[in-house]
Amino acid sequence: MDHFLYRNGQLHAEDVPLAEIAASVGTPVYVYSAATLLRHYRLYDEALAGMPHHVCFAMKALSNLAVVKLLGDAGAGADVVSEGEYRRARAAGIPGDRIVFSGVGKTRAEMRVALEGGIRQFNVESEPEMDALNAVALSLGTVAPITVRVNPDVDARTHAKIATGKSENKFGIPISRARAVYAHAAGLPGLKVVGIDVHIGSQLTELEPFESAYQKVAALALALRADGHEISRLDLGGGLGIPYARSNVAPPLPSDYGALIRRTVGDLGCEIEIEPGRLIAGNAGILLTRVIYDKAGEGRDFLIVDAAMNDLIRPAMYDAHHDIVPVIEPDPDLDPRAYDVVGPVCETGDTFARGRMLPPLAPGDLVAFRSAGAYGAVMASEYNSRPLVPEVLVQGDRFAVIRRRPTFDEMLARDTIPEWL
């Protein structure tokens, strides 16, 4: 469910007409619904009610300060994968003891920033990282809380580029080596083992891969406790998918996911940590764009819009589907047309959809790319020297620009020409 609905023939974000935002901010622009963000966070929180738990929003999905503050004020923690995301989380008001630091390539500088600023735990991904974190912690006279990310060799049955739990993926340590790695950690005075971490991928549309992974984690927790380790937390990652096409079968609900967690690891007495991103943010955002041209090609029609692959790279990078809808509700009596929906960037890859059946559209018409809240703005760039796409947050009948579009002068001013040129 989201809060982008037609009212009186116009698509709204909550109580705000999208045409009003386009007139004020211009296009392309990302628009987020606060009500949807909060609803989806609360679905996860309620799914784990009655268990000690901590829901950490995966900031790699959507890291705007206003969004992170909105979720943080509702009780969410943050899952970060870089110093920049850590600093964003703290700037948004999330305390260090609600921030989990993940990622395969943490630097010593990043470790130091998090230890000095406060951290719930580091999800350690390798023995060299473990040794580096131990050294940094000792240099600061502190102890770093850690989990070890284990790779359970489970096929998440998702896109190859976002699968993270197979043995050939770069993430974590093989679960077969976990007991030896935990023994190594126990001998490092700058570290304190608090639990186990696992994350098998993103955009999962069925529960069975989670169940396979969590059963392995449960068995490992018992083995590690037998070895004398304190296992009080289980970080189970994120990855639950969303329906990008309205015609798709809906993925499992957070309530189903919560029931699975209770069934597989609920009897271990551990605090449960989860790191959802896509399901919280995905359907909470749209990319609003305007038609520039309707171009007739050889055997196909092109709808050229002012958004491009630099604004939303998911279709080019992952062959991702986004439903595309007109802002003015179409007349049901009009026959749809097949369009290739493309942007103005000088690459054939700048294609959002091929042969997509849409109502007839004309230059100047506004259209919305649905389910664009996750991995949209955070992956945007200024390729082709196009200004970075702005972001807008809607709450009720109000909206605010939460990242403005830079001017061309600001873009040019970031470059420096050497004096000898």
Question: What CA–CA distance (Å, rounded) separates 322 from 275?
Answer: 23
Contact 21, 288 (CB under 8 A): yes
Q: What is the 3-state secondary structure (H, E, C) of 93-152?
A: CCCHHHEEECCCCCCHHHHHHHHHHCCCEEEECCHHHHHHHHHHHHHCCCCEEEEEEEEC
- What single string gives the DSSP state of each residue in 345-371? SSSTT-EEEEEEEE----TT-EEEESS
Question: What CA–CA distance (Å, rounded) separates 261 from 252?
Answer: 13
- What single string gives the DSSP state of each residue in 280-346? HHGGGEEEEEEEEEEEE-SSSEEEEES--TTT--HHHHH-----EEESBPPPTTSPPEEEEEE-SSS
Q: Which of 346, 412, 417, 421 is flagged as catalytic?
A: 346
Residue (of 294, 356, 347, 290) closest to 321 by Cα position: 356
Tokens of 282: 């995905």
Question: What CA–CA distance (Å, rounded) separates 130 from 216?
Answer: 22
Strand partners, 124: 148
Contact 356, 325 (CB under 8 A): no
Q: What 3-state DSSP class applies to 219?
A: helix
Question: What CA–CA distance (Å, rounded) separates 226 from 373?
Answer: 44
Contact 124, 148 (CB under 8 A): yes
Give start and end residues of each alpha helix (H) in 227-267.
254-265
Question: What CA–CA distance (Å, rounded) separates 53 from 46?
Answer: 10
346 is catalytic: yes
Q: What 3-state DSSP class applies to 97?
A: helix
Residue written as token pair 């990043």: 110
Return the active site residues: 346
